[in-house]
Structure 1
Amino acid sequence: MREGDTIDETSDPVPSAAGEADDPGCLRPGEARRLLARAPWRRLVVIGDIPVERSAEPLAGYGPWPWYDRVAAALREATAGLAYLNLLGRRQATAAQVRSAQLPAALAFRGDLALLCWGSGYVARETSDLRGPTAELTRTVAPLRDAGYDVALIGLGPAAVRPGPAGRREQGAEQQRRMGDRARAVAVRHGTLCVDLDPPTAESGQLPAWSGDRSRRTGRGHAVAAATVVRALAAALPAPTPGHRHGQLRPG
């Protein structure tokens, strides 16, 4: 493990703030336990190109916990004693750095569920050629699958692109959309799940999902993102059968 990595095997579930309990975009009390009752996972790892974020932009009625910690807490509601390793760095990583620095630690952890976040670190800044980032994504997903991990590709998508000079934000958003298409193709090829962390319903009137400068999510943004991941994981679980094993998430 590197400085900044966190491993958590004992933390209590993240509590729900008052506003979250009445927000349909967020997990309702008891929802995670119900949705994930059949979840087989016991060891969760989070890797990817986004920097670790220990608190959200404050928003009344919503807790400050980041979405990945919330997902771990939701899984722990269904599986007591879930082990959780967060390998996100303090700074944004490139696709190559995710593969070279985080992947070995994830494999050494010997987990069974990996959330692999991809965002601007997988989008080339100076060229529209996405073959390199796509290859790096494949080189990260394939070893995880070979090691027995169920994998969910967590796409930050166009909504995460920060404002910039005229035309640049639109260009960045288009690049994110194109990379999203490639990520979905990788997911189908390797039997993994693909989740858009920022669905169109994330913004809700006066309850923003992002800070004004879009540098970080609000408390609601993190709560909605966590609910999106948890619901996607639950929906991808196969129907219960006696022979179910890990590695059988239905791609989406």
Structure 2
Amino acid sequence: MQIANRIALVTGGGSGLGEATARRLADLGAGVAVLDLGEEAAARVADEIGGLALAADVSDAEAVEAAFARIAAELGEAPRIVVNCAGIGTAARILPREGALPIGLFDRTIRINLLGTYTVLSHAARAMSALAPMDDDGARGVIVNTASVAYQDGQIGQAAYAASKGGVASLTLPAARELARFGIRVMTIAPGLFETAMSAGLPPEARAALEAGLPFPSRMGRPDEYAMLAQQIIENPLLNGEVIRIDSAVRLAPK
């Protein structure tokens, strides 16, 4: 799909992978809606790229529906490109030393990472299905979700996070198969270790240990490298129903 002159929505667009993706799509000529839980973060990025700022909790169906309505009203059309980057990283053992099961944390992680992804995907599918096809293939749009290598390599303390990202990965193929008749593609990116807010607070020794375990290149990924892959997925019409790892060939150890 050509990106120039298309409408795009990037969730989690106020920072990290989402911000890099929003900036790249805007640079390529898309009209970009930047959705984030933090209103100030969304506004900062949107102002700098000439986009539309939206503040919403992706797991709140009414808020997501309202966001799609604003995009259509203010940008002239529903988004044909949706990149789901909104999510949280959590770390908690199933049996911590104090013996308390962190059910609330598990629930919150699933709600934001998995339910949030599904909520945006479902609203995107409904909006895209009403649009006119763009080409002889009948393409109407593309949805790119974000999992994590933790969906396959979940480490100790990542039960909630790995489960949420595993759900996103498992959603990919059935969603792509169902939405194929509408000309809507669904793909998922599974990032490894990236330079984001989650990794920014690591002590230097911890960071060095992590990077030493990366085969090549032996460094954390840069957010724009995620955005580059999102661009390639959007532009290549045969990429559909698959999860792509972007991870320097790393396979995470148990801890």
- TM-score (norm: length of structure 2): 0.51
The answer on whether the counterparts of 1:195 and 1:232 sit within 8 Å (CA) in structure 2 is yes
Q: Distance in 2 between matches of 1:47 and 1:193?
A: 16
Q: Distance in 1 between matches of 2:109 and 2:223?
A: 31
Number of matched residues?
A: 178
Equivalent in the alignment of 1:138: 122
Out of 168, 171, 187, the residue aligned to residue 176 of structure 1 is 168
The answer on whether the counterparts of 1:188 and 1:251 sit within 8 Å (CA) in structure 2 is no
Cα drift, residue 146 of structure 1: 0.7
Compared CA separation, residues 117 and 188, structure 1 to 2 (3 A): same
Whichever residue aligns with residue 137 of structure 1, its letter is: L
| Deviation per residue, 1:22-70 (Å, 9 max, x gap) | xxxxxxxxxxxxxx8xx2741423144x3521x67xxxxxxx9622211
Cα drift, residue 191 of structure 1: 1.6
Equivalent in the alignment of 1:70: 24
Compared CA separation, residues 226 and 137, structure 1 to 2 (3 A): closer
How many percent of aligned residue pairs carry the same amino acid? 11
Q: Give 5+ residue unaligned stretches, structure 2.
A: 39-55, 89-105, 134-139, 202-218, 242-255
Compared CA separation, residues 164 and 119, structure 1 to 2 (3 A): farther
Cα drift, residue 106 of structure 1: 1.9
Q: Does 1:153 align with 2:143?
A: yes
Cα drift, residue 222 of structure 1: 1.5
The answer on whether the counterparts of 2:8 and 2:33 sit within 8 Å (CA) in structure 1 is yes
Q: Distance in 1 between matches of 2:224 and 2:62?
A: 28
- TM-score (norm: length of structure 1): 0.51
Q: Distance in 2 between matches of 1:175 and 1:135?
A: 13
More helix by percentage: 2
Matches within 5 A, 1:48-197: 48=11, 50=12, 52-53=14-15, 66-73=20-27, 75-76=28-29, 82-90=30-38, 92-94=57-59, 96-97=61-62, 99-108=64-73, 109-111=75-77, 113-117=80-84, 125=107, 134=118, 137-148=121-132, 150-159=140-149, 165=157, 167-197=159-189
Whichever residue aligns with residue 7 of structure 2, its letter is: L
Q: Give 5+ residue unaligned stretches, structure 1.
A: 1-35, 57-63, 77-81, 238-249
Q: Distance in 1 between matches of 2:161 and 2:33?
A: 33
